[in-house]
Amino acid sequence: MTAAIELTDLRKSFGPTEIIRGVNLTIEKGERHAIIGPNGAGKSTLFHLISGRYNVSGGSVKLHGENISNLPPYEIYRKGLSRSFQVTNIFPNMSVFENVRCGLMWVKDYKYSFWHLVDRQRELNERTAEVIEEIGLTSRQHIPAGVLTYAEQRALEIGISAAGGADAIMLDEPTAGMSHSETDQAIELIRKITDGKTLVMVEHDMGVVFDLADRISVLVYGEIIATDTPENIRNSKAVQEAYLGAEAEE
Amino acid sequence: MSEITKTASPVASRPLLKTLTPWIGFLILLLALPNIFSSNVGLYTMNLMGIFIIFALSYNMLLGQGGMLSFGHAVYFGLGGFMSVHFMNYIEDGDFTFPMYLIPIFGGLIGLVFGIIIGSFSTRRAGTVFAMISLGVGELMAASSLIFVAFFGGEEGVSGDRTTGPELMGINFGQDIHIYYLIAGWVFVTVALMYLFSRTPAGRMANAVRDNAERAEFVGYSQRKVRFVSFCASGFFAGIAGGLFALNFEIVTEENLNALTSGTVLLMAYIGGVGFFIGPIVGAVVFTLLQSILSNYTDIWQLYVGILFVLTVMYVPQGLTGIIVMHTAAWRMRRIGLLVLPYLRAGIPALAMLTGIATFLETIHHMRSSVEGETAMSLMGVDFDSHGIVTWIVILALVVVGGYLTRSQLPQLRDAWEMANKPPAKAEGAGS
Amino acid sequence: MLELIFFSLLNGIVTGLLLFMLASGLTLIFSMMGVLNFAHASFYMLGAYFAYTISIYLGFWIGLIVAPILVGLLGAVVERYGLRYVHRWGHVAELIFTFGLAFLIEEVVQFIWGKDTKAYHEPEILQFPLFTFFGQNFPAYKAFMLLISIGIFIMLLLILTRSRVGLIIQAAIHKPNMTAMLGHNVPLVFMGVFGVGCALAGLAGVIAGPALGTFPGMAFVLGSIVFVIVVVGGLGSLTGAFVASLLIGLLQTFAIALDYSVNDLLQLFNISFDADSAFRDLWTLSLPQIAPILPYLLLILILIFRPTGLFGNRET
């Protein structure tokens, strides 16, 4: 069985500065994997490399055994990898319903069709309504996404990413800036929506990480210093020194 | 609140009749209009309106729907016109037989072909680069049209004759009323098609790319291809509008594809409101009315249009349609009546001030352009002396008093506006 | 042939430097504020008209100094009360605003000065041929234009590289927010640069008015060419604007001077065509004929193959 995502000696430089310095990581199918690390370790950069937002400087990214390095984002999405963003990234002038529907149209094979009327596509709209139900925005579905509250926009962000039912979902700090109760809801939402799928997430909230993740990788200064189960990571001396130590210094 | 949610229920479950109502109304309006405005001027204006409606809507597929600011949209309009007029001449010469009323199809096709060619490189980016390419292409085409005389006819353009084709039930489109119904038919069909386009995956994704091009790439869509599809469709409909122009005026010149026409269509769409589907329709109607009515009364109507345009961009970026839409909340809550009196109280002095300003401009213009010593002038049926002291006192009074009164009425207008738009729950509390 | 090249070269440089006076302001404004000012050439036109009116009463030389100042002040007002207000609606609205402004200024000019070409002439002292070369005269006024343009170019260069204001401007070009945080009044700098840019355009109008004609369409004729220059040179690059100005200036003068057609080219290969065919325009196409479209062709090619322009480093 091939791995869901496989990174081999992945590198990224901006000018003379190397941000990602040879990352090797294998994420199995159906695994919930969290990437943690101090600020500036390159977690978001790593996400951008995998999802195609940045071109890689060296090494390769494989999705289900297929090399996807340097493909444009939409090609990567079509191969079954979807992602959310750390800074909320939605379609602000369109309604919540339309936002989610945009996340569904390609996988429902409408492509660039100008001969289907979206409002008449029963299955598309029903599935959209289901996703909106799951993210708990049914009562808000017809208002422009730009006027939602922050937590609602975060939920919508996850909804758009997960709507298409991609096999692999990457969430970049899904609970950043949320209150306690909102975080609890978000965890439930993520659990529900990624059921049976591969999940890769970057997260600062250790509660969320230890709650959700099957395995955890620790990224420090562009290198992965450990990949293990939450239990072992929590007890690892090296991790505590490198990661928690770095955190304590701040 | 329940009422708002009801009207906003999913479109899919809306009954067909309700969806169709505005379209049936539109059709009846198109059929009834020539009975209301049956004069030649009326027909002429409405024909022009119809052509501009299609043109402005096609433009808004770029700006409003797709977020592409084009300064060269007249290229597709003009090429459509030239292609159509050539085909009209082929029919006249008996080179081939084709019903005259379908001629705009050829206009649409050449618009589509050029949309494909130019769109293939210009849609890579939105923003300033797209705007610059569209400007460059527009200037290139306008300059070329004076060089390639065989196709563009040089300075005098190409003319044709729409009455020479095979007749349709004894109608050869010789009369203005015939061409009106022909244009009305095309308007109905193309407006419907453009609306439907906006409801397809391609049209929806155009909105998504406009809002957030990067995010669209992460749900599987290439922003470039999304723009490309809209761009081609827009070229097609602009070409049809050009074809109708050729049929209506039986002449197409360089002017139809130069920057002035490109600017006009931007102006129409923007004044009407690019954020709404019907915005460009409103814009085209208002612009054509301004053009045909105002130009009867004054030489400087373009100055007024320019002022109106700049003021719109500065203070009402959502356009005239946006102003109307702003009132829907108050309308739904049946509180629109609260606004009538405040509007009158602020509107009448504002009107006086505008009259004063317009009279000022007209009088100055008259002083500069009339024959030496000629001081008698007439404005809207009022005769006066352009150098008379009374004239200037009246102008000054209108502007100063009107301006002062308008200003003094603004606070009560603002209060009334807030009153009319307060959410229902609070209003009830205040009432009890 | 030699005199043809010589005069084309001189005329090309005169045109190019004149264009640079407009392009430099436009590119400065763009790099600082991110706005391509469509109305830039309208300020050039206003310069010519202001100078014309002033020259009637006070003579050419007073106009040469006062008109650009007036245009600059007007530009500052436009920035302060127009552009800064529209900024809240976003970039597209700003672009449309300047476009509307260009339209409005043309209408206002027609309203005030009428539609006909104005009799705005060079001063009498400069109405003599400076020198004669192969029987062709080079007017002294052109040399004067050349002198002024070079003077402005050197001044601009010195201000930008040597003075404190220049350093702030350069900083504001690259990092407007950072510059503001360092305590510099960026809005004021913006207004200043916009005003000075407009004043430069106005000065160009003052000296170009007598040579190229003072009429309501003069802004439009030059406006789109200046856009081409700014984009071809690279948005935000002064060096690029300079090179592109000269390039376009020379391209246009040489294309008009060299009367060759496609037919001549084909005859080199002993190919001839039926003069009656539908493509007859294509075979008889000559360089002077296509001179007006060359800049736009260049623009499109640059935007397709090198969207950053010749010297630029950013795309939008």
Task: Residue B12: list chain A partners with CB under 8 A.
Answer: 119-120, 122, 125
Task: Output the six-digit token pair for C162.
Answer: 């040597």
B-contacting chains (≥3 CB pairs under 8 Å): A, C
Residue of B nearest to C220 (CA): B259
The pTM for the full model equals: 0.89
Identify any residues that bridge with C214 across adjacent strands, giving them in sequence order.
C118
Output DSSP code: residue B294: I
Residue length, chain B? 432
Residue of B nearest to C288 (CA): B147
Taking only the tens of pLDDT, chain A with its 250 residues reads 588 899 999 999 988 888 899 999 999 999 999 998 888 888 989 999 999 999 999 999 999 989 999 999 999 999 999 999 888 889 999 999 999 999 999 998 898 989 989 888 889 999 999 999 988 899 999 999 999 998 899 989 989 998 888 889 999 988 888 888 888 888 888 888 888 899 999 988 888 888 889 999 999 888 898 898 888 888 887 777 776 555 544 3
The pLDDT of residue B418 is: 84
The pLDDT of residue B7 is: 36
Task: Output the six-digit token pair for A219.
Answer: 């990224």
Spatial separation of the C-alpha atoms in residues C163 and C140, rounded to whole Å:
33
* Cβ(B193)–Cβ(B53) below 8 Å: no
Q: Are strands A58-63 and A66-67 parallel, antiparallel or unpaired?
A: antiparallel
Task: Residue C228: list chain B partners with CB under 8 A.
Answer: 136
Output DSSP code: residue C293: G
Minimal C-alpha gap between B270 and chain A (Å): 18
Question: For chain A, what is the mean pLDDT?
Answer: 88
Task: Residue C297: list chain B partners with CB under 8 A.
Answer: 140
Which of A83, A112, A142 comes nearest B226 by C-beta?
A: A112
* Cβ(B134)–Cβ(B72) below 8 Å: yes
Interface of C with B in 110-149 (CB under 8 A): 110-112, 114
Identify any residues that bridge with C131 across adjacent strands, giving them in sequence order.
C138
Q: Which of C309, C128, C120, C173 is nearest to C230 (CA)?
A: C309
CA A151 to chain centre: 17
The pLDDT of residue C180 is: 66
Which of B201, B203, B218 comes nearest A83 by C-beta?
A: B218
CB contact under 8 A, A164 and B219: yes
Spatial separation of the C-alpha atoms in residues B133 and A248, rounded to whole Å:
53
Domain boundaries, chain C: 2-305
Q: How many domains does chain A have?
A: 1
The pLDDT of residue B181 is: 92
Instruction: Report yes or no: C268 at the B interface, CB cutoff 8 Å.
Output: no
Minimal C-alpha gap between B307 and chain C (Å): 6
Minimal C-alpha gap between B359 and chain C (Å): 14
Rg for chain B (alpha carbons), in Å?
25
- Cβ atoms within 10 A of the Cβ of B71, count? 26
C-contacting chains (≥3 CB pairs under 8 Å): B
Total CB pairs under 8 A between chain A and B = 108
Q: Which of C176, C211, C208, C217 is nearest to C30 (CA)?
A: C176
* Cβ(A73)–Cβ(A34) below 8 Å: no
CA C109 to chain centre: 19
Q: Is C46 buried (19+), middle (13-18) or exposed (0-12) by CB count in 10 A?
A: buried
The pLDDT of residue B426 is: 44
Longest distance between any two alpha carbons in chain C, whole Å: 72
* Cβ(A88)–Cβ(A31) below 8 Å: no
Residue of C nearest to B120 (CA): C304
Which of B127, B140, B266 comes nearest C316 by C-beta?
A: B127
* Cβ(B30)–Cβ(B184) below 8 Å: yes
CA B56 to chain centre: 5
Instruction: List Cα–Cα distances, C10 to C3, C6, C17, C24, C209, in angstroms.
Output: 10, 6, 11, 21, 19
Sign of CA dihedral B93, B94, B100, B106: negative
Taking only the tens of pLDDT, chain C with its 316 residues reads 677 788 888 888 988 988 998 888 888 888 777 788 889 999 999 999 999 999 888 888 888 889 999 999 999 999 999 888 988 888 888 889 999 999 999 999 998 888 888 888 877 777 777 777 776 777 888 888 888 888 888 888 888 778 887 787 777 766 666 666 666 777 888 888 899 999 999 999 998 888 888 888 888 888 888 988 988 888 777 888 889 999 998 988 888 777 777 667 767 776 665 555 556 666 667 777 778 888 888 888 887 787 777 777 654 4
Instruction: Report yes or no: B139 at the A interface, CB cutoff 8 Å.
Output: no
We report the CATH number of the domain holding residue A158 as 3.40.50.300
Residue of C nearest to B313 (CA): C97
The pLDDT of residue C154 is: 87
The pLDDT of residue B4 is: 35
Which of A53, A116, A125 comes nearest B200 by C-beta?
A: A116
Task: Residue C104: list chain B partners with CB under 8 A.
Answer: 303, 306-307, 309-310
* Cβ(C193)–Cβ(C169) below 8 Å: yes
Q: Are strands A17-27 and A168-172 parallel, antiparallel or unpaired?
A: unpaired
Instruction: List Cα–Cα distances, C3 to B39, B185, B284, C141, C295, in angstroms.
Output: 64, 63, 55, 19, 25
A to B contact (≥3 Cβ pairs closer than 8 Å) = yes
Which of B201, B212, B217 comes nearest A72 by C-beta?
A: B217
Spatial separation of the C-alpha atoms in residues B217 and B209, rounded to whole Å:
8
The pLDDT of residue A244 is: 59
Contacts of C77 (CB under 8 A, 6+ apart): none
Structural domains of chain B sorted by starting position, each given as residue range(s) with its CATH number in brackets = 7-326 (1.10.3470), 330-424 (no CATH)
Rg for chain C (alpha carbons), in Å?
21
Minimal C-alpha gap between C292 and chain B (Å): 7
Contacts of B114 (CB under 8 A, 6+ apart): B75, B76, B79, B235, B239
Contacts of C115 (CB under 8 A, 6+ apart): C215, C216
CB contact under 8 A, B259 and C96: no
Minimal C-alpha gap between B29 and chain C (Å): 33
The pLDDT of residue C273 is: 59
CATH topology for C2-305 is ABC transporter involved in vitamin B12 uptake, BtuC (1.10.3470)
Minimal C-alpha gap between C174 and chain B (Å): 18
Task: Output the six-digit token pair for A178.
Answer: 């949320």
Residue of A nearest to B221 (CA): A74
The pLDDT of residue A206 is: 85
Spatial separation of the C-alpha atoms in residues B279 and B287, rounded to whole Å:
12
Q: Which of B116, B125, B121, B134 is nearest to B233 (CA)?
A: B116
Residues of B engaging C, defined by a Cβ cutoff of 8 Å: 63, 67, 69, 71, 121, 124-125, 127-129, 131-133, 135-137, 139-140, 143-144, 147-151, 259, 263, 266-267, 270, 300, 302-303, 306-307, 309-310, 313-314, 317, 361, 364-365, 368-369
Contacts of C260 (CB under 8 A, 6+ apart): C286, C287
Longest distance between any two alpha carbons in chain B, whole Å: 80
Spatial separation of the C-alpha atoms in residues C155 and C168, rounded to whole Å:
17
The pLDDT of residue C278 is: 57
The pLDDT of residue C126 is: 72
Q: Are strands A223-228 and A66-67 parallel, antiparallel or unpaired?
A: unpaired
Task: Output the six-digit token pair for C16.
Answer: 């190019």
Element (H, E) at B25: helix B16-36
Could you give phi then psi for residue C46, rounded to 5 degrees? -60, -40
Spatial separation of the C-alpha atoms in residues A107 and A91, rounded to whole Å:
18
Which of B121, B314, B364 comes nearest C86 by C-beta?
A: B314
DSSP-derived 3-state class of residue A96: helix
Task: Residue A92: list chain B partners with CB under 8 A.
Answer: 211-212
Could you give phi then psi for residue A71, rounded to 5 degrees? -75, 150
Minimal C-alpha gap between A81 and chain B (Å): 9
Q: Which of B116, B118, B87 is nearest to B104 (CA)?
A: B87
Which of C107, C285, C307 comes nearest B306 by C-beta?
A: C107
Instruction: Report yes or no: B11 at the A interface, CB cutoff 8 Å.
Output: yes
Identify any residues that bridge with A7 across adjacent strands, giving them in sequence order.
A25, A61
* Cβ(B230)–Cβ(B206) below 8 Å: yes
Could you give phi then psi for residue C3, rounded to 5 degrees? -70, -30
CB contact under 8 A, B201 and A74: no
Which of B63, B137, B266 comes nearest C300 by C-beta?
A: B137
Contacts of B179 (CB under 8 A, 6+ apart): B47, B162, B173, B247, B248
* Cβ(C108)–Cβ(C101) below 8 Å: no
CB contact under 8 A, C281 and B149: yes
The pLDDT of residue B247 is: 92
Per-residue pLDDT of A110-124, as tens digits, reads: 989 899 898 888 899
Q: Is A70 buried (19+), middle (13-18) or exposed (0-12) by CB count in 10 A?
A: middle
Task: Output the six-digit token pair for C226.
Answer: 């200046």
Spatial separation of the C-alpha atoms in residues C165 and C172, rounded to whole Å:
10
Contacts of A102 (CB under 8 A, 6+ apart): A91, A94, A160, B204, B205, B208, B216, B219
Q: Which of A113, A141, A139 is nearest to A128 (CA)?
A: A141
Enclosing domain of residue A157: 5-249
Task: Report helix angle A96-105 to B201-211, nearest 10.
Answer: 110
Name which of B135, B145, B268, B302 to mutate to probe chain C: the one with the most chain C Cβ atoms within 10 A of its Cβ.
B135
Minimal C-alpha gap between C293 and chain B (Å): 5
Which of A77, A102, A117 comes nearest B199 by C-beta?
A: A117
Instruction: Report yes or no: B226 at the A interface, CB cutoff 8 Å.
Output: yes
Alpha helices in A29-140 (DSSP H): 43-51, 73-78, 96-105, 122-134
Spatial separation of the C-alpha atoms in residues B104 and B93, rounded to whole Å:
18
Alpha helices in B290-385 (DSSP H): 295-297, 301-315, 319-326, 328-332, 337-369
Could you give phi then psi for residue A68, rounded to 5 degrees? -115, 15
Task: Output the six-digit token pair for B411.
Answer: 């606070």
Residues of chain B with pLDDT under 70: 1-14, 167-170, 424-432
Contacts of A66 (CB under 8 A, 6+ apart): A79
The pLDDT of residue A78 is: 93
C to A contact (≥3 Cβ pairs closer than 8 Å) = no
* Cβ(B96)–Cβ(B164) below 8 Å: no
Q: Which residue has the tokens 């008009």?
A: C256
Which of B199, B208, B229 comes nearest A102 by C-beta?
A: B208
Total CB pairs under 8 A between chain B and C = 118
Per-residue pLDDT of B87-99, as tens digits, reads: 999 988 887 788 8
Which of B8, B200, B217 comes nearest A115 by C-beta?
A: B200
DSSP-derived 3-state class of residue B171: strand
Contacts of A180 (CB under 8 A, 6+ apart): none
* Cβ(B310)–Cβ(C97) below 8 Å: yes
The pLDDT of residue B288 is: 93
Instruction: Report yes or no: B3 at the A interface, CB cutoff 8 Å.
Output: no
Instruction: Report yes or no: B192 at the A interface, CB cutoff 8 Å.
Output: no
* Cβ(B274)–Cβ(B63) below 8 Å: yes
